Amino acid sequence: MNLYKGDKTTLYCEFKKDDKIVNVKEPKVRVLHEYNDKVYEDLPWQKMKKMDNGYCYVFDTNVCKNYGKYVVVFSGKYKCETLNVLDDFHIIAKNIDDNNTIYVYGYINDINSNRILKSVQIQIVSLDSGDIIYQTSTDEDGKWESNIFPGDYEFKFSMDNYESRSVRAQVGDENKEIQFNNVSLEHIADVSLGNGLYKIEDEFITKNDMGIENVSVLIYNVDDTENVLVSTKTNNKGKWKAFLDSGTYIVKIELPSGTKKTFQMIVYNDGTKAISEIQTKDTSIDKNSKKVLHGKGTENVTDFILDAHGNGIEGAVIKAYKYKPCKDDYEYECEDVTNKDGQFVLNLNKGKYKFVIEHPSFTTNEQIVEI
């Protein structure tokens, strides 16, 4: 329950014993609040009056000096024992408009469908005191608004069946009107699809352009292939989606037939993506030049060679040289040539390597990597 300072409200309580409402003797009520780990009494014990099946007391919120949460303690004697009931309320500031306040407003939508969300609850909490200084909700247009004094705040957004969000922001006095960044809430049913910034979609179809349903899709961060980041399946149209931040991911899929494939997916800063299949290449040796193609180590290393525009460079030669501590030098290990997507695959053992990347149209580049 939220109350404005100055309101008068009826504190009402029904006492129960074994889930049955009972009449008690000496019904009374008190109001407390906690601040800096200490409990303060705002209303000492007061007698309550009988009302319907319970007891009531008319409470004047002017006795509450601070904004925030207050605890109500009801007590009464039933036979040989004391029954206690706890309740609480919040004292919040009225949304007053004066020359010293800043008009702050914003909009809230569903992160998946982009539709506006009405009746989202917004709490504005002072970071200095921890008190709720204002509470409101979005209207039919998904808009919320408030007039607050300059300061540091936490804005909390919540709605049934949606993941709650909170944003900390400083409200300055440079402008009398501030539009808050649009806030998107995610439906609880979609949380397992990740919580990244970008909505990533793809599909699996047959040669006849028919969607393949129930394809298992597992997504891992490229730096942590032990823990599944997203687990989902394609719908009846063969489509799947996930919510990811920019970065590189490993996507493992399994078709209903049991066929398994692994892909590397790059999500760029603009929300676009690039997906290419990772294909294990067998080690082979060119007997004439004694080139070791792809390597024969236990660690599968794959990446893409891209130009300045993010396009894959085909035909680039990547040579791997392993560091030899005893010689304090690098020795040739193996190499690969990028495909049309700019992808290369090397099979290396753990250790320190120097990659030399060569292409006739580009400057030779060297990189030191740890496998």
Q: Which residue has the tokens 């006095």?
A: 173
Is 3.50.50.60 the CATH number for 194-277?
A: no
**How confident is the model at residue 354, as a pLDDT?**
92
Residue ranges covered by each domain of the chain: 2-92, 102-188, 194-277, 284-370
Q: Which residue has the tokens 């997203």?
A: 230
Concatenated DSSP letters of 238-267: SEEEEEE-SEEEEEEEE-TTS-EEEEEEEE
Of 290, 283, 296, give the one whose Cα is nearest residue 322.
296
- Write the CATH number of the domain with boundaries 284-370: 2.60.130.10
Residues forming a β-bridge with 171? 151
Return the CATH superfamily for domain 102-188. Carboxypeptidase-like, regulatory domain (2.60.40.1120)
Query: Does pTM top 0.85 for this prediction?
Result: no
CB 9 within 8 A of CB 59: yes
Which CATH number does the domain 2-92 belong to among 3.40.720, 2.60.40, 3.30.70, 2.60.120?
Answer: 2.60.40
Give Dmax over CA atoms of the chain in angstroms.
103
Of 92, 123, 89, give the one whose Cα is nearest residue 9.
89
Per CATH, 102-188 and 194-277 having the same topology is answered yes
**How confident is the model at residue 279, as a pLDDT?**
64
Name the CA radius of gyration of the chain, rounded: 32
Residues of the chain with pLDDT under 50: 281-289
CB 38 within 8 A of CB 88: no
d(CA 125, CA 268): 35
**How confident is the model at residue 371, as a pLDDT?**
87
Each residue of 136-152: b (16+ CB within 10 Å) or e? Answer: bebeeebebebbbeebe
**How confident is the model at residue 97, as a pLDDT?**
58
For 180, list phi and psi in degrees, rounded to 5.
-70, 145
For 63, list phi and psi in degrees, rounded to 5.
-75, -15
Contacts (Cβ under 8 Å, ≥6 apart) of 154? 124, 125, 127, 166, 167, 168
Express each pLDDT in 317-332 by its tens digit. 999 999 887 677 889 9
Strand blocks (E) in 159-236: 165-171, 177-179, 183-185, 198-203, 216-221, 230-233
Q: Tokens in use for 24? A: 């008690």
d(CA 195, CA 230): 9
Contacts (Cβ under 8 Å, ≥6 apart) of 89? 1, 2, 3, 9, 69, 70, 72
**How confident is the model at residue 95, as a pLDDT?**
61
Express each pLDDT in 28-50 by its tens digit. 999 998 876 788 899 999 999 99
